[in-house]
Structures are given as C-alpha cells and as structure tokens.
Structure 1
Amino acid sequence: MENTITKKDVLLKVDGLEVSFFTHAGEVKAVRKISYDLKYGEAMGIVGESGSGKSVASYALMGIIPDPGKIIGGSIDFQDKEVTTLPEAEMLKLRGKEVGMIFQDPMTSLNPIFTVGSQIDESLKKHTELDKEGRRKRIIELFELVGINQPEKRLKQYPYEFSGGMRQRAMIAMALACNPKLLIADEPTTALDVTIQAQIIELLKELKEKINMSIIFITHDLGVISEICDKVAVMYAGNIIERGSIDDIFYNPKHPYTHGLLKSIPKINNDAHERLIPIEGNPVDLINPPKGCSFAPRCEHCMKVCMENVPPVYTIDENHEVSCWLLVKEELEKEE
C-alpha cells in the first residue's frame, strides 16, 4: 500500500536529534539521534524508564533545555520552522501559543508569589487579543474544563492553597489556554487519583478531536498510553529502540526491552499469585554508553554482535520499526 502522507500532513518532524549535558564528570549523552514525525491531530506516546531521555527530548522541542545541556545535532521542523535555529524572540511566540506543555512537577512549575489565575492570564495577555474580562471568562472556562471547582474563587488563590492534584489541573489549564496545535504532556496524570486521571485523559481526547490538537504524551504508564495515543515510541538510553502503532507495541512487540516493559506491569486477568517480572540490571551510564546496543548488558538474548555494533533500524512495515540485531538474525535464518 502506497504511503499517502505528505509534508502538509506533518506538524512536527524530528530528525537525528542529539542533546548532551556537559558536566564536570563528562558529556552525558541524554538524547542520541532520535527521529520521528507527528501528524496534525495525532497523539504519540513516549515510554521508557526514568533517565531514558523522554523529558529532555521534549524540552528540546520547547527550547528550554537547562544548563549545561545543549542540542548538538539534528533538526526539529515545526510547521516548516527550524526550531533549533529560531531566535529567542520567535521561540517566545511559539511557546504557549503554538506549543503548550504540561510539566511533570506542578509544585515547582507554578510561581508561589502570584495567584494561579494571574499566571494563566499572563499567557492569554501575551498570545491573544482578549480584553481583561474576556481573559477572566476564559480562565473560568478552563478551570471548569479541567474539573477545578469554584473557579471564580480559585483564580484568586495562590498555589499553596491548591492540593497537588489541583495544581496539576491548573497546569493543564495553563497549557491549554491558547488552544495550541501541539501539546506536550510530561507525566500529566502522576499526581492525580485514578478517577481524575480518567477525566483528564477524556478531556485531552476531546480536545484532540475538537481542535485537531496533536499530543506528545510522556509517561511510564503503558495503560494510559493505550487510552489516548495512536502510536508509541519506546525510548532506552537516549534512543528510540522501537516505534509503532498501539497494536504493534501491545500485541506484536519485537524489541526485548518492550517485552520487558509489558511483562513488568500488572494485568487485570492475571492470577492473584502471579509475580511480575522486572527487567534485570540497571540503566546504562550515559557518560560512557556501551559500544554496541545500549540494552545489550541487560538483554537475555544478547549476542556477540550486540556488544560490538549498534543495531540497524529494521522496518517491519511502514509504521513499525525496531533497532535490534534479533530481527536481522531472524531474517537471515529465513533466507537460509
């Protein structure tokens, strides 16, 4: 079947992105030549262990990598704009209006000396032409949208007067304030109980359909990914080691690491006494990553070639790609 995706369909294209942190101990290679694209109205999940580079890759899209981090290679094309070379004045226009972000920790993302309402108002004032009353009505509408009760009272309150879950919802309201074309959600449901999690996921799904908003959803929770995303990228040690549709990743995973992630989560139909199987070993040292496959030291299928050479990207079909020598081995065995 011919691939009919055109350049006009693609909102975001990341090609060979590399991000490093230059510390006293050495260069930490946090993101190592990752590539993907995202269409208008599409949701992509990024999953992996802590330290795999998920959040750093998203900060690169926003141009907010903290010191001593730098983009050292690759390109980020957002609506035909090269983000990596945009002047700071242009990036300020992009952030909030075109690209919104829900940060992982609402405790440190809201300024404690300003009211929550004034912090959302600042974004609306910068990126919209609404007058003061129009902005106030928009903030109340956003609070109602994300499930914050008594919105007229809440917009005058300070972050310390909100619970952890309420602060997270306020962050979501702030990210959605200007109806961005791309929403980056970094662990947006972490501080919420399961009932509110479900409400937030439903909200994001509705907005995705209503305003054709694209979403990059970063999480450890594969269950959440299955609810909202169209496709998934699995990251390990700064690399995307497998990517595919929801069905590909959940029902036809090919990389040993993806298998390991799926085995380590509880399933509702499992026997009560069935033990979860953790992934053996520890994440790799990104100052001195392995010579070959990053996952090789922890992989039960490790071969000699895995320790010596970086695996090629093996294409299963146009939507499913895996970086693993096992696939190459299987293909060679079939030919023989």
Structure 2
Amino acid sequence: MQSNEHIPLLRVQDLEISFFTYVGEVKAVRKISYDLYPGEVMGIVGESGSGKSVSSYGVMGILPNPGKIVGGRILFDGRDITHLPEKELLKIRGKDISMIFQDPMTSLNPVFTVGNQINEVLIKHTSLTNKERLDRIIELFELVGITQPEKRIQQYPHEFSGGMRQRVMIAMALACNPKLLIADEPTTALDVTIQAQIIALLKELKDKIDMSVIFITHDLGVVADVCDKVAVMYGGSLIEKGNIDDIFYEPKHPYTWGLLRSVPKINADEHERLIPIEGNPVDLINPPKGCAFAPRCEHCMKVCMTKRPPVYAVNKEHEVDCWLTVKEAYEKEKNQ
C-alpha cells in the first residue's frame, strides 16, 4: 500500500549501535540510513547477526545493556527521538510505535490474563473508561481472528497455542492504533501452517489499518508477499535497498544474489541443490576496513578489502554499496 506522502514517517540517518563488552566494542549497526513513508511496508532481510533486530530495538529505544547508540539520528514524525529521556520515550512506545516480538512463547507474562495485559497498554496510553477498554480489547481480538473474545480475554497465555499467542501479541501491538508497527520475525517459532495464517493476517491488517510496517525476517518469500520495499543487511551495514522488483529482479549486490540463490524454487528439478553462501559471518568486534562481505564474495576485488564502497544510486529508489556496481557503471560510461 504505497502512500503519496512526501515526508518520511521514520528517517534513520547514519545510525551506529555498539555493545561495549568485556572483549571489546561490538559494532552491531554500522551507519545505516533509510526512509519509511506513511502506509509503506519495508522488509529488512539478512542472516542472523546482521543487525536487523538491533537496529529496530534502537528505533524503539529498548536496546539491552551494554548496547548504546553511538552515532546518527532517528527522526520519527519529524521529531528527533535518538536520545530522548526514558520518560518521553514511554509516551511514544506502545502508542505511536509498537513492536511484535520474535517469540510469542516468552513475550507474554504467564501470571496475568491476556486481557489484563492488553488492558495495561490501554490504561497507559488512552483515557478510555473501563467499559470502553473492554470493548476495545474484544474488538482487537475479533480483528486478529480470535474467536469467543469475551471468554478468551479471561484466559492465561498457557491456555493459548503458539499461533494464538502471536495473535494476542499482534492485538496488543495494535491496541493504540500505532503509526509504525515493527514486526520482528513474527513467524519464527511457529509451524508452517500457522506461519501462513499469521502472514495472511498481517497482509489483511495492513490494508485495513493505515500504518507503516517494518517487517524483519530472513524469509525472502514472506518479504515478496508482504512488503513494498526491501533493505538487505549484512555485517551491521545496509548493503542494498530498493522496491520489491528492484531486489528480486534486478539485484546488484553479490550478497543479495546469494540470498536469492539459497531460496527453494517451486519449479526446480528434483535433485537441484540449493547454493549456500560460503564462509563465516563478519567479526563485528574487528570489522574489515573495506566491504564487510568481501571475504565471502566470489567477485571480490583488491579495493573491496581496503575501502568501504560508496552508496551507488541505480535509480531513484534502488541503492547498493558495492564496488562491482561502481566498476560496471564506470565501464559502461567509458564505452558510450
């Protein structure tokens, strides 16, 4: 659902996040920038440890110790929220920005009913009466497809299946009609059938509710199904971003090629093997001077090992950080 708005709802500029551990500074997020406009759904993809979740925790202001934002800015709805005091962040978090966490099994408090936990959000951020809050919780349960809501709101998390707990988490995230919803791998702990139901639900909700969504996942199939645009992360850096067609049909970064090659294809031959990306993830305590993907890249050049590539604009929406693209563009220009 694309928007005609020209002012980003969320603008992340050169964001840097580090964890200061006893073995050294772990540079988890290294100067990433992106804009998210009202009504847009952006997928952030990459392998585990690439910085996807940490970057969104930075946006939410919930970085665990010893994590710190060490550079860059986060602008939400025109306001700089990078270093807001916790008291101010509490007014935004849960109301204007909400998050669906990765594991529904551990995200709910086992000693309170699910209705009580959603009610807590409404008490914090709204001035609704007791009756209005109860009606809102029932409305939310119906919205996310939980049957018999009047009965279910009195139950505890252990009385729900994994898929139903995730629906409760989605209902909680939507309670105050947020402007931005961050979904951090919301289907990871669920079986394939329930995954499909949750994805279908999120697609339906994004059309019903006018909000922007950041969808964090390692599943490119989900991204193709749900998102308007994609940001590819590797080694704490955002190495390629563009709309769905750019990334799936005209990818420019060798890492993006590798991700796409490792996805099973429905029309593949019976004995056709998936092609893994060889090598190990980057060491974020001692990240390389050049391109983070260079040690694993089959197209690596000398410059890739010593200098970080510039951001190259393929078109208005499609950007890539890769010396290979710069080289190709230079050669193309020289031959014209």
Q: TM-score, normalised by structure 1?
A: 0.95
Q: SS at 1:84's partner residue? A: coil
Report the Cα offset of residue 297 of structure 1.
Answer: 0.5
Aligned to 1:14: 12
For residue 194 of structure 1, report the CA deviation from its aligned partner.
3.7
What is the alpha-carbon distance in structure 2 between the residues aligned to residue 246 and residue 38 of structure 1?
A: 14
Aligned to 1:143, what secondary structure does the other structure show? helix
Residue type of the partner of 1:73? G
Q: Once the 2 structures are TM-superposed, how far is the Cα of residue 86 of structure 1 from its aligned partner?
A: 1.7
Residue of structure 2 equivalent to 1:248: 246
Letter in 1 for 2:83: T
Per the alignment, in what secondary structure is the counterpart of residue 57 of structure 2?
helix
Shift of 1:245: 0.5
Instruction: Select 1:282's aligned residue among 280, 283, 297.
Output: 280
Contact 2:119/2:133 (8 A) holds in 1: yes
CA drift at 1:5 = 6.4
Deviation at 1:201, TM superposition (A): 2.7
Residue 107 of structure 1: CA displacement? 2.2
Q: Which amino acid aligns with 1:332?
A: Y
Contact 2:163 2:198 in 1 (8 A): no
Q: Distance in 2 between matches of 1:209 and 1:158?
A: 30
Match of 2:290 among 279, 289, 292: 292
Q: Provide closer, same or farther for how the CA distance between residues 199 and 102 of structure 1 changes in structure 2, counting only shifts above 3 A.
A: same
Q: In the alignment, is the contact (CA less than 8 A) between 2:99 and 2:183 conserved in 1?
A: yes
How far apart in 2 are the matches of 1:212 and 1:152?
26
Paired residue secondary structure (1:85): coil
1:321 to 319, 322, 328: 319
What is residue 301 of structure 2 aligned with on the other side? 303
Could you tell which deviates more after superposition, 237-246 or 189-198? 189-198
Whether the aligned pair in 2 keeps the contact of 1:47 and 1:219 (CA below 8 Å) is: yes
Identity over the aligned pairs, expressed in percent? 74
Given the alignment, which residue of 59, 64, 67 partners 1:66?
A: 64
CA contact (8 A) 2:38 2:211 kept: yes
Is the contact made by 1:207 and 1:213 (CA closer than 8 Å) also made in structure 2?
Answer: no
* Equivalent residue for 1:117, pick from 115, 123, 138: 115
Residue 220 (structure 1) shift: 0.8
What does 1:73-222 align with in structure 2 at a 5 Å threshold? 73-222=71-220
**CA distance, structure 2, for counterparts of residue 207 and residue 226 of structure 1:** 17
For the 8 Å contact 1:257–1:295, the answer to whether it is kept is: yes
Structure 2 counterpart of 1:37, one-letter code: D
Structure 1 gap segments, 5+ residues each? none
Where 1:70 maps in the other structure, the secondary structure is strand
Q: Distance in 2 between matches of 1:295 and 1:52?
A: 11
Query: What is the TM-score with the length of structure 2 in the denominator?
Result: 0.95
For residue 272 of structure 1, give the secondary structure of its aligned residue in structure 2: coil
Task: Return the offset for 1:24.
Answer: 0.3
Native 8 Å contact 2:5 2:38 kept in 1: no
Task: Report which stretch shifted further, 197-206 or 38-47.
Answer: 197-206
Task: Provide the rounded CA distance (Å) in 2 between the counterparts of 1:87 and 1:24.
Answer: 27
Q: Structure 1: how far apart are the matches of 2:191 and 2:174?
A: 21
Partner SS for 1:10? coil
Tell me, yes or no, if the aligned pair for 2:115 and 2:137 is still in contact at 8 Å: yes
Q: What residue is the counterpart of 2:260 in the other structure?
A: 262
Alpha-carbon RMSD: 1.4
State the secondary structure of the residue aligned to 1:122.
Answer: helix
Paired with 2:205 and 2:156, the residues of 1 have a C-alpha distance of 27
29 and 122 in structure 1: CA distance in 2 versus 1, 3 angstrom threshold: same
Moved more, 210-219 or 233-242: 210-219
Unaligned runs of 5+ in 2: none
Contact persistence 1:13–1:77 (CA under 8 A)? yes
Task: Give the C-alpha shift of residue 174 in structure 1.
Answer: 0.6
Match of 1:43 in 2: 41
* Equivalent position of 1:25 in the other structure: 23
Q: Determine the C-alpha separation between the residues in 2 that align with 1:165 and 1:146.
A: 11
SS at match of 2:74: strand
Q: Distance in 1 between matches of 2:116 and 2:304?
A: 54
Residues 195 and 147 of structure 1: CA distance in aligned 2, closer, same or farther (over 3 Å):
farther
